[in-house]
């Protein structure tokens, strides 16, 4: 069966996450599998690089599918986008890949962005697309706190109690924090890069760093929380609507 990799862009707001739901609730995976069934009538199962939670967005999610016939990748993406309308899901790139390619297990890097906007007024255009807080943050303090998390660590403190990963030990390769002035406030952009992440790890980290930026935590407390390997030592977990899966890396880029 010919295999195809798809790069997928979606607004996670209307969905109960990436993964197909047993109760029939809307999911991104379910929407794409239903569109595939319109092209080749049968049950389809696709695999993705990351199973994002309810409300989390994707701009560079990667999934793969197996088809019965050979498709031109561009025509396959266009046909899927036709059947995905009017849902906020789009296949932005598609490529034929070898049978051994697996969107999840072949990945060597995942990149996330978290958008946080500080302003007093509620969000309008960015409602559902960013986390709003009412106070400014110290970028230098947050960078100092984030420095404790770079490298190989036991991230028990920063993972959900429902996380199914076999080990809490992960390596974070990069955390960058940028400050972008807005006409009515400031946007803070957190970018994290690692081979893989634990359940709720990014949201736990950003929620904790927000406390550092607000002055409620000293930056050194992030290192203490990490060393505690205790979920109770974590700061607040930030809401999902500011989180985006922005990219997935492979040894050979299927979309190059």
pTM reported for the whole predicted model: 0.97
| 86 and 150 belong to one structural domain | no
Structural domain ending residue among the three candidates 79, 106, 133:
106
Tell me, yes or no, whether 254 lies in a domain: no
**Residues that are catalytic:** 53
Q: What is the pLDDT of residues 28-56, one digit of tens each?
A: 999 999 999 999 999 999 999 999 999 99
| 89 and 175 belong to one structural domain | no
Round the average pLDDT of the chain to a whole number and report it: 97
Tell me, yes or no, whether 239 lies in a domain: yes
Tell me, yes or no, whether 253 lies in a domain: no
Helix axis angle for 139-146 and 201-213, nearest 10°, is 140
Q: What is the pLDDT of residues 131-152, one digit of tens each?
A: 999 999 999 999 999 999 999 9
| 44 and 11 belong to one structural domain | yes
Q: pLDDT value at position 62? A: 98
Q: pLDDT value at position 246? A: 98
Domains held by the chain: number: 2
| 123 and 93 belong to one structural domain | no
| 153 and 202 belong to one structural domain | yes
| 145 and 85 belong to one structural domain | no
| 102 and 211 belong to one structural domain | no
| 124 and 233 belong to one structural domain | yes
Q: What is the pLDDT of residues 54-89, one digit of tens each?
A: 999 999 999 999 999 999 999 999 999 999 999 999
| 134 and 52 belong to one structural domain | no
Read off the CATH number of the domain in which 146 is found: 3.30.70.660
Read off the CATH number of the domain in which 94 is found: 3.30.70.580
Tell me, yes or no, whether 252 lies in a domain: no
| 126 and 7 belong to one structural domain | no
CB 101 within 8 A of CB 46: no
Residue 21 corresponds to which tokens in the numbers above?
């739901």
pLDDT at 201 over 90: yes
| 142 and 237 belong to one structural domain | yes
Q: What is the pLDDT of residues 113-128, one digit of tens each?
A: 999 999 999 999 999 9
Phi and psi for 205 in degrees, rounded to 5? -65, -50
Structural domain ending residue among the three candidates 60, 87, 106:
106
| 72 and 143 belong to one structural domain | no
Q: Quick one: three-class SS letters along the chain?
A: CCEEEEEEEECCCCCCCCCCCCCCCCCHHHHHHHHHHHHCCCCCCCEECCCCCCCCEEEEEEEEEECCCCCCHHHHHHHHHHHHCCCCEEEEEEEEECCCCCCCCCCCEEEEEEEEEECCCCCCCCCCCCEEECCCCCHHHHHHHHHHHCEEEECHHHCCCCCCCCCCEEEEEEEEEEEEEECCEEEEEEEEEECCCCCCHHHHHHHHHHHHHCCCCCCHHHHHHHHHCCHHHCCCCCCHHHEEEEEEECCCCCCC
Percent over 90 (pLDDT), the chain: 98
Q: For residue 95, what are the β-bridge partners? A: 5
Domain, as residue range, for 85:
3-106
Asked if the peptide bond before residue 54 counts as cis, ω within 30 degrees of 0, the response is no
Residue-level length of the chain:
256
């Amino acid at each position: 069966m010919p295999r195809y990799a798809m790069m997928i862009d979606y607004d996670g707001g209307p969905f109960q996450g990436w993964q197909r739901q047993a109760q029939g609730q809307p999911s991104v995976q379910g929407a794409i599998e239903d569109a595939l069934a319109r092209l080749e009538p049968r049950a389809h199962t696709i695999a993705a690089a990351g199973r994002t939670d309810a409300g989390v967005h994707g701009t560079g999610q990667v999934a793969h599918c197996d088809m019965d016939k050979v498709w031109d990748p561009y025509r396959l993406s266009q046909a899927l986008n036709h059947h995905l309308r009017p849902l906020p899901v789009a296949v932005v790139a598609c490529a034929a890949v070898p049978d051994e390619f697996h969107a999840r297990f072949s990945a060597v890097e995942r990149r996330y962005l978290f958008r946080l906007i500080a302003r007093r007024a509620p969000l309008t255009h960015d409602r559902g697309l960013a986390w709003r807080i009412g106070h400014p943050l110290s970028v230098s303090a947050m960078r100092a706190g984030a420095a404790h998390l770079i490298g190989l660590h036991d991230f028990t403190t920063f993972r959900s109690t429902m996380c199914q990963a076999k080990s809490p030990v992960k390596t974070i390769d990069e955390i960058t924090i940028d400050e972008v002035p807005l006409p009515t406030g400031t946007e803070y952009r957190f970018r994290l890069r690692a081979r893989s992440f634990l359940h709720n790890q990014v949201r736990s980290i950003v929620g904790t760093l927000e406390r550092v930026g607000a002055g409620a935590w000293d930056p050194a407390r992030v290192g203490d929380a990490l060393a505690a390997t205790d979920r109770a030592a974590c700061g607040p977990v930030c809401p999902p609507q500011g989180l985006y899966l922005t990219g997935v890396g492979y040894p050979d880029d299927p979309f190059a």
